[in-house]
């Protein structure tokens, strides 16, 4: 269908040699569409976000002055259910980045077959420059600006980079104050005391771990014989190191924005977490060699886990990656062309929309519990998460094997396919 594919007017065609997340996301969709022979009309619809909001977020600083940042919220697709996706506070959080992250959420929810569409939002802010009180005022104003866009049946935000439980509580409160009653189902990833789900905090890390277990099983490798390197020590990477260490893996490298640590015999993630709590960074932890973030990616290990930001593996370093498996805990850490290089070199790449879907899966559980006002035990949450992760991994792996696809192509085939089917079933309005 290559010739029939039309790029909607006013849109730049994707150039796979570029590294931006939006170009990567579009190139992945176009490739999947071509492989699966997607109907051109549906393909055109899916290339464009359904609706987007750009807002101005003015708020008062502690010294009385005013600061204004740009906020975004994009609904990429809502055909299978309410829009779902995190809110990110990061200086790079512009419109294109939000669009890419929202599109990935659509495929992610479809790959694990939860009844949500995809969304993302954020504020272009460096939260390290602000006090907690300033962040609260900024969050409440941002929430007010996107208020008409969100709601338990409309769009359900969640934490993402640099946002946490407390920030979700402020959003839930701002929304509820405006409604005049408590609406716990408007956000997920909130504290348990106001309707959060047990197990949500560690869900993304746990989901990545289950995915790694499934991968190792298929590749015939034992959990205790593999070495692991993790880039990123935020909510996902920090806990994941501990989980994998406890499961018997040798965690040889860990890093955060400041730099990384390497120890061939294996690091002690719990001791590093303690060091980070005191020192503010993993850097300076004694008993390990310091390495840079770039060096971490090139470490000799079995499983490399980029768990930080987008576009860290590009054409510039893809031929220097030495891992056997790369498992994407972050969203979009490998650019489109770099992915090809890794796959051509025989590296098994587990794509983000499968590997890190544990977070949104437990967000779905949280939303279900909120709207039913009936809460589950942590064991129930973790068991159901494991089932969904294993089932989704197997479906992607089996399709990849059957059709000779990469894991990413197969995951997109399933995700895009489910969304396309929903479009075709509902028909085009009017």
What does the alpha-carbon distance between residue 193 and residue 183 come to, in Å, rounded to a whole number?
13
Q: Does 84 bind ligand GLU (CB under 6 A)?
A: yes
Stretch that binds ligand GLU, among 53-61, 84-92, 138-146, 372-380 (CB under 6 A): 84-92
Q: Does 412 bind ligand GLU (CB under 6 A)?
A: no
For the CB of residue 306, give the shortest distance to ligand GLU in the complex, in Å. Answer: 14
Q: Are 190 and 164 in contact (CB under 8 A)?
A: no
Site mask, ligand GLU, residues 362-381, x = CB under 6 A? -x------------------
Could you list the beta-strand ranges (E) of 347-410.
Answer: 348-350
Among 71, 81, 82, 86, binds ligand GLU (CB under 6 A): 86
Closer of 36 and 101 to ligand GLU (Cβ): 101
Q: Which of residues 323-352 bind ligand GLU (CB under 6 A)?
A: 331
Could you list the beta-strand ranges (E) of 3-93.
Answer: 51-60, 66-77, 83-89
State phi, psi for 16 to the nearest 5 degrees.
Answer: -65, -15
Site mask, ligand GLU, residues 186-225, x = CB under 6 A? --x-------------------------------------
**SS3 (DSSP) at 291:** strand
**SS3 (DSSP) at 286:** coil
Active site members? 120
Stretch that binds ligand GLU, among 78-86, 174-182, 274-282, 381-389 (CB under 6 A): 78-86
Stretch that binds ligand GLU, among 79-87, 213-221, 292-300, 393-401 (CB under 6 A): 79-87
Site mask, ligand GLU, residues 288-327, x = CB under 6 A? ----------------------------------------
Q: Which residue is associated with the tokens 């220097």?
A: 320
Closer of 28 and 363 to ligand GLU (Cβ): 363
Among 23, 134, 160, 165, binds ligand GLU (CB under 6 A): 160
Over the Cα atoms of the chain, what is R_g?
21
Provide the sign of the torsion angle of the four alpha carbons 268, 274, 278, 280, taken in this order.
Answer: positive
Strands 155-159 and 227-231: unpaired
Closer of 84 and 90 to ligand GLU (Cβ): 84
Q: Does 158 bind ligand GLU (CB under 6 A)?
A: yes
What does the alpha-carbon distance between residue 162 and residue 139 come to, in Å, rounded to a whole number?
12
**SS3 (DSSP) at 210:** helix
Residue in the shown chain whose Cβ atom is closest to ligand GLU: 86
Closest CA to 84 of 69, 72, 97, 74: 74
Among 138, 303, 360, 422, binds ligand GLU (CB under 6 A): 360
Q: Where do runs of H (alpha helix) occur along 202-268?
A: 203-219, 235-247
Closest CA to 309 of 287, 293, 292, 290: 293
Interface residues toward ligand GLU, by CB under 6 A: 84-86, 158, 160, 188, 331, 356, 359-360, 363
């Amino acid at each position: 269908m290559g010739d029939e594919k039309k790029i909607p007017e006013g849109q730049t065609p994707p150039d796979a040699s570029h590294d931006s997340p939006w170009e990567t996301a579009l190139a992945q969709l176009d490739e999947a569409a071509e492989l699966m022979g997607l109907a051109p009309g549906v393909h055109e619809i899916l290339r464009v976000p359904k609706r987007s909001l750009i807002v101005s977020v003015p708020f008062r600083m502690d010294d009385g002055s005013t600061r204004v940042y740009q906020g975004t919220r994009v609904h990429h697709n809502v055909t299978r259910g309410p829009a779902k996706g995190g809110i990110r506070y990061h200086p790079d959080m512009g419109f294109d980045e939000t669009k890419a992250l929202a599109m990935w959420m659509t495929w992610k929810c479809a790959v694990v077959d939860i009844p949500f569409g995809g969304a993302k939002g954020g504020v272009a802010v460096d939260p390290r420059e602000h006090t907690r009180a300033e962040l609260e005022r900024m969050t409440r104003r941002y929430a007010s600006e996107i208020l008409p866009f969100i709601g338990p049946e409309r769009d359900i935000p969640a934490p993402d980079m640099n946002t946490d439980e407390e920030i979700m509580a402020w959003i839930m409160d701002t929304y509820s104050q405006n409604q005049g009653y408590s609406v716990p189902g408007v956000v997920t990833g909130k504290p348990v005391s106001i309707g959060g789900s047990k197990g949500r905090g560690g869900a993304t890390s746990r989901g990545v771990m289950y995915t790694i277990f499934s991968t190792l099983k298929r590749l015939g490798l034992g959990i205790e014989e593999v070495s692991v390197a993790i880039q990123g020590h935020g909510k996902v990477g920090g806990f994941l190191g501990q989980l994998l260490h406890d499961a018997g893996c040798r965690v040889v490298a860990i890093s955060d924005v400041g730099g990384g640590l390497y120890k061939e015999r294996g690091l002690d993630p719990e001791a590093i977490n303690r060091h980070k709590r005191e020192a503010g960074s993993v850097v300076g932890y004694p008993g390990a060699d310091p390495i840079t973030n770039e060096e971490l990616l090139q470490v000799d290990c079995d499983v490399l886990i980029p768990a930080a930001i987008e576009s860290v593996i590009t054409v510039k370093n893809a031929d220097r990656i030495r891992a056997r498996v790369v498992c994407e805990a972050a969203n979009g850490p490998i650019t489109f062309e770099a992915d090809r290089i890794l796959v051509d070199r025989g590296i098994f790449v587990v794509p983000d929309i499968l590997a890190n879907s544990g977070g949104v899966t437990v967000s779905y559980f949280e939303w279900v519990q909120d709207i039913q006002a009936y809460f589950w035990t942590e064991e129930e949450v973790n068991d159901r998460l494991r089932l969904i992760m294993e089932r989704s991994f197997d479906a992607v792996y089996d399709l990849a094997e059957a059709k000779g696809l990469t894991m990413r192509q197969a995951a997109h085939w399933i995700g895009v396919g489910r969304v396309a089917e929903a479009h075709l079933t509902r028909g085009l309005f009017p």
